[in-house]
Chain A
Amino acid sequence: MKHDGGRGMSSPNEAPQLPDSEPPLPEKVVKVRPPRSLRVELMVSYLSLLAVVVIGFGISIYVLVRQGVYHQAESDLLASAQLLAQELKSGVAKSDLAITQAYRHRFGPAPRDQAYFTVWDPQGHQIVNNAPPLPHLEFGPSEPPPEHRRPFYSLAHGIHLDVYLKETDGTRVMVGRPMAREFDHLNRLLVIVGLFGVVSLAAGAVGAWWLARRIVSPLDQLTQAAEKITAQSLDQRLELVEASSELTRLSSVFNTMLDRLHNAFQRQIRFTADASHELRTPVAVILSQAEHTLSRPRTPEDYCSALETCVRASRRMKRLVDDLLLLARADSGRLDIRQEPLDLADVVRQSLAMLEPLATEKQIRLTAQLLTTRTVGDAARLGQVVTNLVTNALQYNHPDGNVFVTVHTRDSRAMLVVSDTGVGIPALDQPRLFERFFRADQARTHSEGQGTGLGLSIVSEIVAAHHGTIEVTSELGVGTTVTVQFPIPETPAITPE
Chain B
Amino acid sequence: MRVLVIEDESDLRRLLTEILEEEGYAVDAAADGEDGLSKAQMWSYDVIVLDIMLPKIDGWDVLETLRETHQTPVLILSARDALSDRVLGLDIGADDYLVKPFERLELLARLRALIRRAAGQTQSTVELGEITVDLRDRCVRQGGQTVNLTAREYALLEYLAVHRGKVVSRTELYDHLFDETDNSLSNLLDVHVSNLRKKLGPDLIETRRGQGYVISE
Chain A residues at the B interface, C-beta cutoff of 8 Å: 273, 276-278, 280-281, 283-289, 291-292, 295-296, 309, 312-313, 441-448
Tell me, in angstroms, the Cα distance from A284 to B101 when the chains sit together.
4
A309, B56: Cα distance in complex, Å: 25
Interface 9-residue window, one of B11-19, B183-191, B196-204:
B11-19
Contacting residues, chain A, for B19 (C-beta < 8 A) = 288, 292
Write out the residue numbers on chain B whose beta carbons fall within 8 Å of the beta carbon of A448.
10
User: Does A288 lie within 8 Å of B82, measured CB to CB?
Assistant: no
Closest to B100 in A: A284
Complex alpha-carbon distance, A448 and B10, angstroms? 9
Q: Are A280 and B104 in touch, CB under 8 angstroms?
A: no
Report if B175 contacts A (CB, 8 A): no
Beyond A289-B11, A309-B11, A313-B11, whether A281 also contacts B100 by CB under 8 A is yes
Interface core residue of B14, B54, B55 (most chain A CB under 10 Å): B55
Chain B, Cβ-Cβ closest to A296:
B22
* Contact assessment for B104 and A295 in the assembled complex, using a CB-CB cutoff below 8 Å: yes
Q: Does B96 contact A (CB under 8 A)?
A: no
Q: Is the CB of B9 within 8 A of A285?
A: yes
B18 cross-chain contacts in A, Cβ below 8 A:
292
A281 touches B54 (CB 8 A): no
Measured CB to CB, the nearest residue on chain B to A286 is: B101
Bound CA span A281–B7, Å: 11
Query: When chains A and B are docked, how far (Å) is the Cα of A313 from the Cα of B58?
Result: 23
Instruction: Determine whether B117 belongs to the interface, using a CB cutoff of 8 Å to chain A.
Output: no
**At the interface, yes or no: B87 with Cβ under 8 Å from chain A?**
no
Per-residue contact bits, chain B 37-67, to A (CB 8 Å; 1 contact, 0 not)? 0000000000000000111111000000000
A188 to B15, CA, bound (A): 107
Q: Mark B75-100, 1 if CB is under 8 A from A, else 0.
A: 00001111000000000000000011
Q: Of the candidates A284, A296, A443, A447, which one forms a contact with B12 in the assembled complex, judged by CB atoms under 8 Å apart? A: A284
Cβ-defined contact, A280 with B100, below 8 A: yes
Residue contacts A-B, CB under 8 angstroms, 28 given = A276-B81, A280-B101, A281-B79, A284-B100, A284-B101, A285-B9, A285-B11, A285-B15, A286-B101, A287-B102, A288-B12, A288-B102, A289-B15, A291-B104, A291-B105, A292-B18, A292-B19, A296-B22, A309-B11, A313-B11, A442-B58, A443-B55, A443-B56, A444-B53, A444-B55, A446-B9, A446-B10, A447-B10
Q: Which residues of A contact B100 (CB under 8 A)?
A: 280-281, 283-284
Give the complex CA separation of A284 and B53 in angstroms.
Answer: 15
Does B103 touch A at the CB level, under 8 Å? yes
| Residue of chain A at shortest CB distance from B99 | A280
List of 3 A-B pairs having minimum Cβ-Cβ separation, nearest first: A280-B79, A284-B101, A284-B100
B134 at interface, CB cutoff 8 A: no
Is B8 positioned at the interface, with any CB of A under 8 Å from its CB? Answer: yes
B175 to chain A, nearest CB (A): 26
A442 to B8, CA, bound (A): 13
Contact of A292 among B9, B55, B82, B104 (CB under 8 A): B104
CB distance from B7 to the nearest CB of A (A): 9
Instruction: Given A287-B101, A442-B58, A443-B56, check contact A277 B80 (CB 8 Å).
Output: yes
Is B79 within 8 A of A277, CB to CB?
yes
Determine whether the beta carbon of B103 is less than 8 Å from that of A283.
no
Taking a contact as CB atoms under 8 Å apart, the answer to whether B8 and A285 are in contact is no
Q: Which residues of A contact B22 (CB under 8 A)?
A: 292, 295-296
Residues from chain B with a CB closer than 8 A to the CB of A277 are 79-81
Which A residues touch B81, using CB under 8 A? 276-277, 280
Known contacts A277-B81, A447-B10, then 7 further A-B pairs from the complex at CB < 8 Å, ordered by chain A residue: A280-B100, A285-B9, A285-B12, A288-B102, A313-B11, A441-B55, A444-B55
The chain B residue with its CB closest to the CB of A313 is B11
What separation, in Å, do the CA atoms of A292 and B21 have in the docked complex? 11
In this complex, what residue of B is CB-closest to A277? B79
Within 8 A of A (CB), among B150-203: none
A284 interface neighbour in B33, B57, B102, Cβ under 8 Å:
B102
- In the complex the two chains form, is A273's CB within 8 Å of B82's CB? yes
Closest chain B CB from A493 CB (angstroms): 47
Q: Which of B15, B82, B102 has the most chain A CB within a 10 Å cutoff?
A: B15
